Amino acid sequence: AQSVTQPDIHITVSEGASLELRCNYSYGATPYLFWYVQSPGQGLQLLLKYFSGDTLVQGIKGFEAEFKRSQSSFNLRKPSVHWSDAAEYFCAVGAAKLIFGTGTRLQVFP
Amino acid sequence: SAVISQKPSRDICQRGTSLTIQCQVDSQVTMMFWYRQQPGQSLTLIATANQGSEATYESGFVIDKFPISRPNLTFSTLTVSNMSPEDSSIYLCSVGTGGPNYGYTFGSGTRLTVV
């Protein structure tokens, strides 16, 4: 069955610290992988996506993600977090339709 | 990417009534979807809105409760019927685009509260 697991429900980091949000997937074919961010009261904004090619993907707002097929992972990273990055982050997988993980809520302390 | 206009942005409804949510896209799209996000939860796909044919519903969702229309390639509606407090959620429209810009864009959502 197709599924996405985000092991961390809630992460707290200090502003300026590095960040890594974990995402593991189960998918029968070559996965199409996405990271979205949802700020409070807002819709979903696409941060980055991976289909093929270079396994290190650059996205908006300084985020990047690395696809590791052997680990079935697509972890999201940022070298230095800003207070405005506080939001809910969703990993998703799919081709004809998306399956979402449960999300990770990021809190940033000044 | 496509720009989605979703209306209403929020509503408070009485139980037993129905609400129709509209999704308008600024370009023709083949793939159109409706999601539900319950409070503090992730997104769950309700159905795929097919142009010119009946929507394809996911397990746990039925047409009588969530009728969907898709009259053309730029517009769709989702109706939440005979509402109960358990239907209080954010409902989001999404469109998929193919080609080199393959991906999914989401509307800003409709925040529904049933009292």
Which tens digits make up the pLDDT trace of A51-87? 888 999 999 999 999 999 999 999 999 999 999 999 9
Q: Do A43 and B108 touch (CB under 8 A)?
A: yes
The Cα B92–Cα B105 span in angstroms is: 10
Q: Which residues contact A85 (CB under 8 A, 6 or more apart)?
A: A19, A61, A78, A106, A108
Contacts of A97 in chain B (CB under 8 A): 33, 45, 48
Query: Could you tell me the CATH superfamily of domain A3-109?
Result: Immunoglobulins (2.60.40.10)
A85 vs A37: CA distance, rounded Å: 9
DSSP per-residue codes, A12-47: EEETT--EEE--EEE-SSSPPEEEEEE-TT--EEEE
Q: How many residues does chain B have?
A: 115
The DSSP code for B87 is G
Q: Do B103 and A46 touch (CB under 8 A)?
A: yes
- Is residue B85 classed as helix, strand or coil in its secondary structure? helix
Q: How many domains does chain B have?
A: 1
Q: Which residues form the domain of B53?
A: 27-82
Alpha-carbon distances of B78 from A92, B87, B107, rounded to whole Å? 23, 13, 13
Q: For residue B55, what is the domain's CATH number?
A: 2.60.40.10
Q: For B32, how many CA atoms within 13 A lie in the half-sphere containing its CB?
A: 34
pLDDT at site A71: 94
Q: Assess A53–B contact: CB distance below 8 Å, yes or no.
A: no
The whole-number pLDDT of residue B98 equals 75
Total CB pairs under 8 A between chain A and B: 41
B41 assigned to some structural domain? yes
Confidence of residue B16 (pLDDT cuts 50, 70, 90): very high
pLDDT, position A40: 83
Model confidence pLDDT, tens digit, residues B19-75: 999 999 999 998 899 999 998 889 999 999 988 888 999 999 999 999 999 999 999
Q: Which residues of A touch B92 (CB under 8 A)?
A: 43-44
pLDDT level of residue A42 (50, 70, 90 thresholds): confident
Q: Which amino acid is at B105?
A: T
In sequence order, which residues have a C-beta less than 8 Å from that of residue A48 and are 6 or more positions away?
A34, A35, A57, A58, A59, A60, A63, A64, A65, A76
Q: In angstroms, rounded to a whole number, what is the distance separating the alpha carbons of residues B103 and A54?
A: 17
What pLDDT is stored for residue B63 in this prediction?
A: 96
Domain assignment present for B16: no
Among A34, A41, A103, beta carbon nearest to B42: A103
What is the reported pLDDT for B52? 82
Q: What is the pLDDT of residue A53?
A: 87
Instruction: Using CB atoms, pick whichever of B31, B45, B106 lies closest to residue A44.
Output: B106
Q: Which residues pair with A99 in a beta bridge?
A: A93
Average pLDDT, chain A: 93
Residue A16 has pLDDT above 80, yes or no: yes
Q: Hey, which residues does A12 pair with through a beta bridge?
A: A107
**Residue B58 is assigned to a structural domain of this protein:** yes
Q: How far is CA A100 from the centre of its chain?
A: 10
